[in-house]
Amino acid sequence: MATGIAAGRVLWFGAAPAGWSVALVWVPFALGWAGQVLIGSWTHLVPAIGPGDQAAHAAQRSRLGWSGPGRVTAWNIAVAFLTVGLVAGSTPLVAVGSVVIAGCVVVALGLLAGSVPRGVGGPSTVRAARIGQAR
């Protein structure tokens, strides 16, 4: 969405400063790209680098992938609502987009918290990994 808006503005306005304004593309770039990259990376990184065997990592991936397509679709629709709402000055669209994005973040954080094994980062994990001990 952001790329389409940015390209359209450059094609429409040309080299004029209005064609290179980021006022209309910051929401889709920040939330539509950076936000999804951050949240999407949890689904890959937590099972890939966390403690546990293959079965534990498979369970983590399963939990983190719960309703993935639906959550991504909801996020993208919310970004579209928020972008259109900000451009058009529509408070209801901005409110709906903001609430849905906040809900998606809460669900993603809940799934992330539920997929992390208990005791990670505590003293038992440090002892088990022998972190900080001379060899």
- Top mean pLDDT of 1-5, 11-15, 73-77, 84-88 is at 73-77
CA atoms within a 13 Å half-sphere pointing along the CA-CB vector of 91: 0
- pTM confidence score: 0.71
Largest CA-CA distance found in the chain, in angstroms, rounded: 64
3-state secondary structure the chain: CHHHHHHHHHHHHCCCHHHHCCCCCHHHHHHHHHHHHHHHHHHHHHHHHCCCCHHHHHHHHHHHCCCHHHHHHHHHHHHHHHHHHHHHCCHHHHHHHHHHHHHHHHHHHHHHHHHCCCCCCCHHHHHHHCCCCCC
The stretch 72-82 carries a mean pLDDT of 93
Task: Determine which of 55-64, 91-100, 115-124 has the lowest per-residue pLDDT on average.
Answer: 115-124
Q: Where are the domains of the chain?
A: 27-129
**In the chain, what percentage of residues exceed pLDDT 90?**
21
Q: How confident is the prediction for the chain on average, in pLDDT? A: 80
Task: Determine which of 58-67, 79-88, 100-109 has the lowest per-residue pLDDT on average.
Answer: 58-67
What's the confidence (pLDDT) of residue 125?
46
- Top mean pLDDT of 4-8, 18-22, 35-39, 111-115 is at 35-39
What's the confidence (pLDDT) of residue 124?
45
104 compared with 54, residue with greater pLDDT: 104
